[in-house]
Every structure is written in structure tokens, then in C-alpha cells.
Chain A
Amino acid sequence: MAEVEDTLKRIQAQHGVIGTIVVNGEGIPIRTTLDNSTSVQYAGLLHQLTMKARSAVRDIDPQNELTFLRIRSKKHEIMVAPDKEYLLIAIQNPSE
């Protein structure tokens, strides 16, 4: 438990990381370093996208599983690591 906290703190402290969000199974952010409205927006949208991605991966091969999802945009990179119930989102500004 404490390890997870430590890891999250480390991630947040890494160079270029804008924010981290922990989202529960319903798409509600339970822990975030960003402001509320942004978190809710990210959580909702990425939750759906992750469900879709996971569905796609598993449809192709049910024994397979989605490990992580990376969306790189012009401004930053959004990284999503899904769990059975939770979702961990990190937004980073890659190399400047």
C-alpha cells in the first residue's frame, strides 16, 4: 500500500509529468493531482476509451489482455495503465 503511494509520488515527481489520476471502476477519479474539472473530464473520456481498447484486444484473443495504452498528441502524452477495476492515468510532456 505504501509502496504504491511512493511509486505514485515518484511518478508525479518525474521530469515532465503534468499530472496523475487514479480512476475507479465507474469512471470517477478517486485520486488526482490535477484540478477537479480536468480530472473528471480525463477520467470519463479515458475510461471509455480504455474499455473500448480492452474490448478490442480481448475480442481478437480472449486470453490476451490490455497492459497499457499510450496516446501521444502534439502537446503531451497520455499514458493509461488499466487494472481489473482501476485505471491509472499519467499525463506527461515528453522530452522538451
Chain B
Amino acid sequence: MSVSYKVGTVKSKQSPNVNTQPKAPVVKGVKTTGKKKDEEEGIDTADGEEWMQGKTLVKPPDQLDLTEEELKEEITRVLTANNPNAPQNVVRYSFKEGCYKTIVFVDQMAIHFELEGNLVHKESDEGRRLMAKHTEREDCGGDERLENVPIKPGKREQKVTNQFNFIDRASQTLNNLPREISCQTEPPPRANFSATANQWEIYDFYVEELQRREKSKEKQESQFPNKEEDRSKKKMIQAEAQSDDISQLAKPAEIIERMVNQNIFDEVAQDFMYFEDAADEFRGEKGTLLPLWKFQYDKAKGLSVTALCWNHIYSDLFAVGLGSYEFTQQERGMLLFYTLKNPSFPEFIFNTDSGVMCVDIHEQLSYLVAVGLYDGCVSVYDLRKKSDQPMYNSIASSGKHTGAVWQVKWQKDDLDSNHNFFSVSTDGRVVSWTLVKHEIVFTDIIKLPPVDKVPDDLKNVVATAGTSLDFHKQKDHHFLVGTEAGKIHKGSKYYSSKFLEMYDAHFMTVSCVRWNPFHPNVFISCGWDWMVKIWDHTINSPVFTFELKSSVTDVAWSPHSSTVFAAVTADGKVHVFDLSINKYEALCQQKVVSKKTRLLHIEFNPVHPIIIVGDDRGRVISLKLSPNLRKKPKEKKGQELPKGPEVEIAKMEQLLSSLR
């Protein structure tokens, strides 16, 4: 019940027309201010009058004291229907005038009491709904349940709660305590994997794949014989895995050794490649030999170098044959192969029972090495095989020499394409050996004619020792043999009974004969009688003769020039001649070894301008030829210098013709 009271406390003095007396508000009761005095005055005054007549006037202490005039003043009171609580100064902004304007009409309605009814009109939606529900409830127990079932879910509405009597009751179920159950397994083992996929890895993989496919193809083609092979292969593989790891390191170890050597002999290597003695310009014609590497093997110390041979295919590889020239001191022998890349240790080492006297490396198949021994055996080694044993060996029954073999030379393959080589020895026979499958077969070519000094009846017994053998470069059926007696015989492979020519070369043993590599007619010979002689094979007497101050042990032509040759003597000197420059004197006479060491062999390198000399202490020394020793004929300005063997031949020819 809302009742609005007039708040204002208007105290008004009552008009005296009514016999009212100022009341004592205390007498009336509690709610003095809230009452409209006009309405309740009548009732109260009636009561008050009766009560008050017997008493004096009581004035409240705070009553206004007014004068008589003031008391008579008439005050009008108006009764309006205005809501005293309604605001009287509502202001609204007027957009039209752009200012605030007071609103005249303000809602004066005051609501004292409000009650919402629950009557619903029959025709309204809600009314209809309720009607339907009502009828629904009545029919609930009837046979129309089936019809209602589909209807029910559609008509399910929210239950309308009773506003007065509704009780919401909640209950809480017992909630089980939440429990955590977890299970931990052992994590799967982890491994870090990282890999790179480079171009080369892909390439490698493809190569392997290809190989695998090929192998599988092979297997498919031939299955039976492979079974046994597989077994043996398996054994092999197992054995390899068990053996110590570092056997694979052979190649890297070799490389490192060479690198280390290169560092140690760095200056030598640089000299070998690049050094050209500038002082040669001031020396006139003379030249020098620059010592490069020294090759020494400590197990070969007691032996002398008996043979030297360069490999034609690998121009840094050479063979050294070691043995002894002393008749009394015959022990073992060795065959060593050195390379310029590794001067400290030989590449291949072969031990032989008797001293090696001569070595020759096949020109095309540089793994075939023929060796002649002091005991008359000839052997052929195959460098591809790792064994110490020769591939072929001649034994007594197969016609080996009865004396030391002094020279072996490979020949071109014969008509059956078997390899063959020639040998000459102290027993005076020149023998050709042919390698047939696993055997070595000998063929006597010719026997050296006996020396004149030998008495006739002993001629068949005492053989003429052949000490040197050389085949002509172009017409290889021609060959020269030097003998111990100092004679040189020219023979031919096709004539087995007789020699074509004989030259009275030296007074003592002929130590070496060699054909000139360019000129077809010229050969050189040297002997222990201190002489070096150059011959034209058509002429019986030497074309050039040089006397060196000591017995000449070896002589060699230079492969670059037809007029250059070098000789070594027993006093340790190397003599280099160039006939096109100086016909009488050596351009260089240099002592390369210490006293009392004899130089025994000399060889020119086919490619590089170096020579190797072997001495009787088992050492091999390499020397570089200075520019003066390798001179080519001067070019005239503007003219192109013709190169080739023809030039060399022409040079020689010129020389020879000048002498005739």
C-alpha cells in the first residue's frame, strides 16, 4: 500500500470562526505532522473540546507567537490533484530551438497500489494454451494416450511454477572424490639420428644399388657353382673382419710416407722440378750435374749396384739390381725398385739367392721384370704380385746359363704373342727365353765365336764371355754383343751360325755397347781400357774415340738428343759429352762420389733431365743435368725449330759426314 504523504509541514493558524482552540499536539498522538489537519480536525476537536474545557490553554513551546492581525489573516488553501512527488522542472533539449526548454506537462500520476491479476482472457494465446493443457490433463488416463505420445514431445513446455507455493528443493548427491590414476611406461629407447644427403651420398647409393643389381643378375644366371664360391667367400669375409683393422691402411700409409718425404726433401724436389743453373751462361760450354736424391737401402750396403733400369711407363720408378762383381765374394742379391717420390725406402724388394747381374723392364708391360743372376739363372718377376718369388725361373734342366748372365733384354712379343727376352752370359751363348704359360723355354740363338788367343783344341771348351748385349731400336733383329776379349760382334736373330760383323773395339773387356736411339747406324762402346768409342756400324773403325782417365764402367745415350751421351768411370766421375757442341772434350766431368767408390752404372731418365748412377756401395745417386748439357740447337729468329727424331738423325749425320 503506497501512500504518499505530504511532506511539507505547513503549520497554519486556524481561523477563529470555528471554535477551535490551538491544540496541544501532544494530546493528539504520535503522527502529528503527517496528518491533514483539515480532515481530522473535526473529529479531534470534538474530542479535544470536551477534554479541554476543564483545563487551561497549554502552549507548545515552539508554537509561533502571532499578533491578532496575523491571526485574522485569511489563508486560502487549495486542493489540487497534482502529484507532489512529480518533478516540476523537467527540462528537455529542443533541437528546433537549440536550447533547453521546460516541459509543461509532466506526468502527475502517482500510483499508490498495484496488483497484478492472474486472470487470462480466454481468446488470448495463453488462454488457449492453458485450455489445452487443462483438457490434456483430463484425458491423460484415457485411450487417447497413443495419440498424445507423438504430441507430447512437441507440446512439452516449461513447467509453469506456482508463484506462491513453489518450493525448489535441491539435493546434493555424494560426489566421489576425484582420484588420479596414472600409468607410466618406460619410454621407448631413443636414439639421435642425423644424416646428410649430399650429392655424393646419393651418387654412392646409386652406385651400390647398381652393383647389387648386377650381382643379383649374375646369381640368377648361375646359381650352382656359386654355392661353393659363396662358402669360401664367407670364410674369407670372416677372416678379414677378424684380422686387425689397420691392414686397410696400406695406401694411406704409403701416401703419408711420401708426403713426409716430400717435406724432408722439399728443396731437392723443388730443384728437381724447377732449378736451372743460371751460372751455366757464364761457363761457356761446360755444364754441371746437380746432385738430387740419394737412394740407399741399409740391407743392401754390402752389395754393388749391378744394374739400373728406368720404367718407361712410370717415369719416376726405376729398378736397381744388386749383387757383387767379385768372384770370391758371392752371396745373395737383391732387386729393388725405387720411386723418386719416396727416396727413403724402396717400393719393391726382392731377395735373390745369388747376385743380380742385370735387370730389364718390359717396355709396354712394365710389371714384367727380367733378371739375370750370377749363377746363370734368369727369372721373371711380376710386380703385380705381392710375393717374393719370381713368376718364372730357369733351372738347370731348362737350359740355363752356365755362367753369370750379363745382360737381359726384352723383345717384342713373338708370333704367338708370348713374351720373350734375350740373355747373354759368360758361357758365350746368346739365348732367347720365351714365356709360355707357366714355363720358360729357351732357344739358343747363337754362340759367340772363340777368341783367337785360345789354342785350337780348347776352343770348344773355353767360351767367350759375352758381357754386353744391345738390340737395334728400329731393326730389332740386329744386335750387338760385347765380349770379355774386347771384341764387339754384330749379329742377327735370323742367322744363328755366324755373326755379321766383328769389331776390334777394346783391349780389355767391353763393359757396354749401345745403339744410338736416333741414328740407325751409330753405336757406342766402352771398356775397361779407359776408352769410349763411337762407331758407325758400316765402318770397321771407330768414328770417335775418347780416353777417360780411368776404366769406363758404363755409358749411356741421352734419350733427348742424338749427340749427347754420358759415361761413368771407376774413379767416381761422370763424364757428359755433347758431340754437336764439342767433339773432343767432355762438357762435364764431375766427381759425384767420395774416394774409393767406383761408379758402376748410369742411366738417363726417359722423361726428366736427370741421370742415376749406381756405385759399388749399393747406393744410387740421382743428378740433374744443367741446361748446358741439354742444349738444343739454336733457333734462328723467325724460323720454327723442327722437332723430332729426324732432326736428331740429321744432326748426327752432319757430324759423321764432317769426319769422313
Contacts and interface: CB of A to CB of B under 8 A. Distances in A.
B308 to A, nearest CB: 24
Contact of A86 (B249, B255, B266, B267): B249
Interface in A1-20: 1, 3-5, 7-8, 10-11, 14-17, 20
| Contact count band on A | 35 or more
A79 B256 contact: yes
Interface string A77-96: 10101111111101010110
Nearest to A94: B263
A32 interface: no
A43 interface: no
Contacts of A77: 263
B124 interface: no
A7 B254 contact: yes
Interface string A54-96: 0100110011000110100000010101111111101010110
Nearest to B203: A62
Contact of B249 (A55, A63, A88): A88
Contact of A59 (B198, B244, B256, B261): B198
A30 B245 contact: yes
A58 B204 CA distance: 10
Given A55-B198, A59-B199, A90 B256 contact: yes
A11 B248 contact: no
A94 B257 contact: no
Interface string B203-223: 110000000000000000000
A15 B264 contact: yes
Contacts of B344: 10, 14
A83 to B, nearest CB: 5
Contact of B256 (A68, A84, A85): A68
Contacts of B204: 62
* Max chain A Cβ within 10 angstroms of own Cβ: one of B203, B247, B248, B249: B249
B29 to A, nearest CB: 112
A7 B263 contact: no
Contact of B243 (A1, A15, A86): A1
Given A14-B344, A15-B264, A86-B246, A55 B196 contact: yes
B250 A14 contact: no
Contacts of B252: 68, 81-83, 86-88
Nearest to A25: B245
* Max chain A Cβ within 10 angstroms of own Cβ: one of B204, B244, B260: B260
B86 interface: no
A68 B248 contact: no
A81 B264 CA distance: 18
A46 interface: no
Nearest to A12: B260
Contacts of A81: 251-253, 255-256, 259
B327 interface: no
Interface of A: 1, 3-5, 7-8, 10-11, 14-17, 20, 22, 24, 30-31, 55, 58-59, 62-63, 67-68, 70, 77, 79, 81-88, 90, 92, 94-95
Interface of B: 196, 198-200, 202-204, 243-257, 259-261, 263-264, 266-267, 344-345
30 contacts: A1-B243, A1-B247, A3-B250, A4-B246, A4-B253, A7-B250, A7-B254, A8-B253, A11-B253, A14-B257, A14-B260, A14-B344, A16-B263, A20-B256, A22-B249, A30-B246, A58-B203, A62-B200, A62-B204, A79-B259, A81-B252, A81-B253, A82-B252, A85-B248, A86-B245, A86-B246, A88-B255, A90-B260, A94-B263, A95-B266
Given A4-B247, A86-B248, A90-B256, 16 more contacts: A1-B244, A1-B247, A4-B249, A4-B250, A7-B257, A10-B345, A14-B257, A20-B256, A59-B200, A62-B199, A67-B255, A68-B255, A79-B260, A85-B245, A88-B249, A88-B252
